[in-house]
Amino acid sequence: LLSEFHFRCQTYEGGFGGEPFAEAHGGYAYCGVASLVILDRYRLADSESFLHWLVKRQMRFEGGFQGRTNKLVDGCYSFWQAANFPLVDGEMAREGRLPTDGLFDARLLEEYILTCCQDETGGMRDKPGKSRDLYHTCYVLSGLAIAQMYSASREPDGILGGSQNDGSINPVFNLTTLSEQFAVSFFGERSG
């Protein structure tokens, strides 16, 4: 039932809205795709249409992602949009289809994040001229980790600043690999 609801939220553009017939939005797209992956129902989605919508959200001039069609780039979509690529990659690999590697410019996203989203006093922000906040710090840094994972997978020296800056995360849960392992161990002990 839940996966059928998610399927009905996919829009004519290919993205996902918060409810059927709503506008496609980056945050809802991520939540919809991650939910379908968790439920093992991603195959219900129109993957080609979704990828077509998704690749058009990265703006070539800025390098960052917009959340909706005809909107400005926002640092938080560095995660909400870019995290969809490894999610879809995993599903396509399970189906024996070609991965999406290379469908977004990870290096350009890294440059946008490091040039435009860092606040001089620490933390991350939506875009230049905006104030830093915890929300954007979380999702911009998570987006940076996704971009670096993709850069490293395509070229070993592709990470800006070097491989010591690569922080691997699980894109389904937005957890570092270490935190994910701890959670699995912690909750696994309690369920058995």
Which domains occur in the chain, in start order?
Answer: 1-189 (1.50.10.20)
Contact (CB, 8 A) for 165 and 149: no
* Residue whose C-alpha is closest to residue 176's, from 133, 146, 147, 135: 146
Of 71, 105, 119, 130, catalytic: 71
Task: Specify whether 31 is catalytic.
Answer: no
pLDDT for 191 beyond 90: no
- What pLDDT, on the 0 to 100 scale, is given for residue 125? 95
Residues 40-65 have pLDDT tens digits of: 999 889 999 999 999 999 999 999 99
Task: Specify whether 25 is catalytic.
Answer: yes
Task: Specify whether 101 is catalytic.
Answer: no
Of 117, 126, 139, 150, catalytic: 126
Task: Specify whether 166 is catalytic.
Answer: no
Task: Specify whether 77 is catalytic.
Answer: yes
* Residue whose C-alpha is closest to residue 28's, from 13, 9, 41, 55: 9
Whole-prediction pTM: 0.89
For residue 93, the Cα-to-chain-centroid distance in whole angstroms is: 18
